[in-house]
Structures are given as structure tokens and as C-alpha cells.
Amino acid sequence: MTRKIQTAVVGVTGYAGAELARLLLHHPRLKGVPPVFAGRVDEKDAQRGGIPLGEIHPQLGDNNGRGKLRLEPFSWELLAERGVDVLFLAIPHEQSREWVPRALKNGLRVIDLSGAWRLTNAANRAVYNFEDEGAEEAETTQAQAVYGMPELHREQVAGARLIANPGCYATSVILALKPLVAAGLIDLDRGIVADSKSGVSGAGKAPSAKTHFMYAADNLSAYSVFSHRHTGELLEQIGIDASQIVFTPHLLPIPRGILSTIYVQFKEPQTRISIAAVYEAFFAGCPMVRFSIKTLPQIQYVVRTNYADIGFQLDSSGRRAVIVSCLDNLLKGAAGQAVQNMNIALGWPESEGLA
């Protein structure tokens, strides 16, 4: 009998970590082999064997003992003792830069939800100000990383030891634009405008003045204009340069979900049928993308799912289009896409445990 896969999650206390734990606990291929949850645990909690998962995320508890699973003090020895095969990291970028090289040396397959290894271009990585930038170990590790967007890199993900899970905003914009840019339809000299809005959970669990209820409620605000960390992902994955797109993120007063409204102009007049044909051909065999020629996506249709919904409207001249892309930032934009990548890497059906 083939040994079952053992997973581990570091960073389960965050929003994306909670979704990742939920998906892995209910994944049919992992039945009977719950993830190892490891992280920072103070001495008092360590003495009682860690923190019960049910205390961190009561919603994950059930009558089968899942809530009694524990967040244990992280150590490489713990991962080795438990026979971990796949390590999910939902931790800060800087910590991932430190830990991933050792994880690879230890023979682990790593799926990293941070931005530490997403960018191949050093100029794009500069926004993170990594202390190890240019170091030999960092360059060697970066060379092994595959950008974990199955719709673009399914074959590379299948053989990857280090999968860099995409950013949430980046996923929504890349999926909407890549088919049209790859087909050579968009007039890049006229520029692209990507106007994206995300729920508050996209900022992470650590509280800040801007995510405080009194600031975010009944409000809509733009932020990180011309400086958002996901911009480099758009440039590298779509295949454009910074002068060809304006990407502006906004904070929505809702818990979760992203809606990106993208404005493009075409080199030649198009029809609804011609544009639809491009999308349908590009996403053939992509179970987690739902494209519609009839309706525009809405956040309420994708929240708590791993689907990315894409639709568009074409103006009467056939030269201008508005594309709308929606997804759940914690699922297709984070934990769900990470599990999708695990499925591909392990040779399982891509949407298993997700749809």
C-alpha cells in the first residue's frame, strides 16, 4: 500500500492559514493523516504540548477530534519525526527567505504563500528589500521556484520542489489579461488600467489603523498606488513592462473577496465571439476558472470558493473592453490555490478537495 502524504502548515494562526487548515483537514486524499501544525508557541503552551487548534480557530472543531489537534513548537526535527512530505508556509516573506533553502535541503516539497520567491527579476524584488538579495543561496533557491499559477504553469508545477503561490490581486489581474496579451490583441501602447478592490482580510490578521473597523467600515480607499508588491508579478507573468499598465488596489469594507475591473483597447476591432473564443481556448482544461460571455462576475458568486470568475463587455466600436475578474482572496488568491498546486505536484486531480 502506498504511504499517505503527510503535510505540515506553518502559519496556521492567520486568515489564509485557517483556510489552508480547513481544506487539508477535509481533503479526501489526506483522510486519516491530519496536517502537522507548527509555529511560534510560548513556553507555557509548549509544556502542555502546544495550543489546541480549536482554541485558535473554533470553527475547525468537530466531533471527530479535529479541534484537539495542536499547534506545536516549530522545529526541523519535528517535521522529520512526523515524516512531513509537503510543507506549506503561510509566514512573512523574510522568514520564508530564511527557511525555504533549508527545507529544500531537507528534501521537503515547499508551497510558499508569501511573496518571497515569486519574482525572478531582481528589480521587481526590490520592493521587498530582502537582506539576502544577490546571495548565492538565495539565487540558487530562486532558480528552483515555479510561479504557482496552474492556468499558466501547470507542467512546471507538476515537477516543482518549490512552488511560489501567487498573490491574490495578481491572480485576479493575470488571469483576466494573459489570454488577450498572449493572443496579441491588446494595444499595449494605449495602456491597461487595472482597478482592483479587496476585502479587509487581504491585509492579513495583524491589526492596523487602516484595517480598523472605524476606518474600513463605510469607506473605500486606494492605497500603494504605483508601489504595490504584486505589480512585479503582473509584469513578469503577463509579459508587459511598467509603462503599459496602471494597477491601483483599493480596500473594500467587506471581509473577503476581490473584484478587478480592467480597461483595455484592442489593435483591431473585435467581436464578443472572437474575444470569448480566446478565453475559452486559453482556459480549456482549467477547472478553477469560470468564464462567461453572458454575465459579469460578482464577489458574492466566488466568495468561499476556489473559482476565479471572468467576464467582459465590449463597446460598440469593438476596440475597447472592460474585463471583470472576481475571486476569494483567501482561497483562489491564497490557500485554495496552494492546495490546487499540491494536487498537481502530487499527480492528483487538480480540483480535488476544492470543488
Angle of helix 15-25 relative to helix 335-345, nearest 10 degrees, comes to 40
All residues at 6 or more sequence positions from 208 whose CB lies less than 8 Å from its CB, including other chains: none
Enter the C-alpha cell of residue 282.
486559453
Check if the beta carbon of residue 339 is closer than 8 Å to that of residue 283: no
All residues at 6 or more sequence positions from 176 whose CB lies less than 8 Å from its CB, including other chains: 260, 262, 310, 323, 324, 325
Q: How far is Cα 88 from Cα 206, in angstroms, rounded to an integer?
A: 20
Distance of CA 353 to the CA centre of its chain: 16
Supply the pLDDT for residue 351: 98
- The angle at the Cα of 125, spanning 123 to 129, to the nearest 5 degrees, equals 110
Enter the C-alpha cell of residue 198.
479587496
Q: How far is Cα 297 from Cα 161, in angstroms, rounded to an integer?
A: 34
Answer with the residue of higher pLDDT: 14 or 64: 14
DSSP for residue 244: G
Q: How far is Cα 226 from Cα 233, in angstroms, rounded to an integer?
A: 13
| Residue ranges of the chain that CATH labels 3.30.360.10 | 168-327
**pLDDT-derived band at 204, boundaries 50, 70, 90:** confident
The per-residue pLDDT of the chain, averaged, comes to 95
Statement: residue 230 has pLDDT above 90: yes
Statement: residue 217 has pLDDT above 70: yes
Statement: residue 126 has pLDDT above 90: yes
Supply the pLDDT for residue 228: 94
Average the pLDDT over each of 44-53, 110-119, 186-195, 333-342 and give the range with the smallest value.
44-53
Supply the pLDDT for residue 211: 85
Statement: residue 138 has pLDDT above 80: yes
Q: How far is Cα 212 from Cα 259, in angstroms, rounded to an integer?
A: 21
Supply the pLDDT for residue 277: 98
| Residue ranges of the chain that CATH labels 3.40.50.720 | 7-165+334-345
Segment 54-68 mean pLDDT: 82
What is the CATH architecture assignment of 168-327?
Answer: 2-Layer Sandwich (3.30)
Q: How far is Cα 97 from Cα 87, in angstroms, rounded to an integer?
A: 14
Supply the pLDDT for residue 133: 95
Supply the pLDDT for residue 203: 82
At 108-120, the pLDDT tens digits run 999 999 999 999 9
Reduced to 3 states (helix: H, G, I; strand: E, B; else coil), residue 161 is coil
Segment 245-259 mean pLDDT: 97
- Residue % of the chain over a pLDDT of 90: 90
**pLDDT-derived band at 1, boundaries 50, 70, 90:** very low
Segment 322-335 mean pLDDT: 98
Supply the pLDDT for residue 65: 67
Query: What residues are annotated to the active site?
Result: 168
At 268-285, the pLDDT tens digits run 999 999 999 999 999 999
- 12-16, Cβ contacts within 8 angstroms, sequence gap of 24 or more: 12/37, 12/39, 12/53, 12/56, 12/57, 12/71, 12/90, 13/39, 13/56, 13/71, 13/205, 14/90, 14/204, 14/205, 15/201, 15/204, 15/205, 15/330, 16/90, 16/113, 16/330, 16/334, 16/335
What is the CATH architecture assignment of 7-165+334-345?
Answer: 3-Layer(aba) Sandwich (3.40)
